[in-house]
Structure 1
């Protein structure tokens, strides 16, 4: 082994030690964009208790059936946000007609079940809409994330972006 080739493992070890001591600062908030896998409850849950919102995953038991009156549990992006101590209000749905009807503030979760990647991009750059998938009725629309924030992204926020499955399913 040459003298130069011995230095690389040593340098890598030193670098890994330096990285191990670095700590990330707290995030100011968490902003989520995506589809049903990250949707925090944009749609009303007509089969659930008053004020409940529909999610496409994580219905709480014991029957796990639509129309059972059982609510939905939190999704992965919300659980991650909680572990990072992001406020519950920031993790709430951004365009929920239920929140608007109840006078609750909009959150930073812009994910909407059924969104394709072009619609995810629209929720960032132009307009976020929640449309009933069965009837096509517009339930709520609001200015997208960047226009609502003077086209400035929070440099201290954690951004969570997921999507693509609906592009495949909707062709």
Structure 2
């Protein structure tokens, strides 16, 4: 992945090559979505399991961030998703810094598209998201506040989330 801007957005290091590696490894990984996958994906990415709280497992990533972490959520031994912090949250972002975050998001989306093909879904705006539904993993790049997250989702869990709820509670 390459970008046409500096290697930092308002002092936040960009991890484009490492993000590209995450996408490539995740898209080719032999997912079973059992909790044992966490140790294997960590080995493949050069990460480690930092802490385990039952349904929440904290993964230490190699990204250059204040909190180089990913959070894996599971139920009954089945991983639902892994949320990877792609960049640090900008606390006091002015309009120019926010624009650079959006530009970085667009550049990452384009670079991931080069690796995976056209996205399955795209949503613009402050809560923007670009999504690739692959056979064994759903990769979602998301704008969250003044930050960017990547979700590696179990396709079965994502399908459940996508189902209409018919208004029932």
Normalising by structure 1, report the TM-score: 0.30
- Name the one with the larger strand percent: 2
Normalising by structure 2, report the TM-score: 0.30
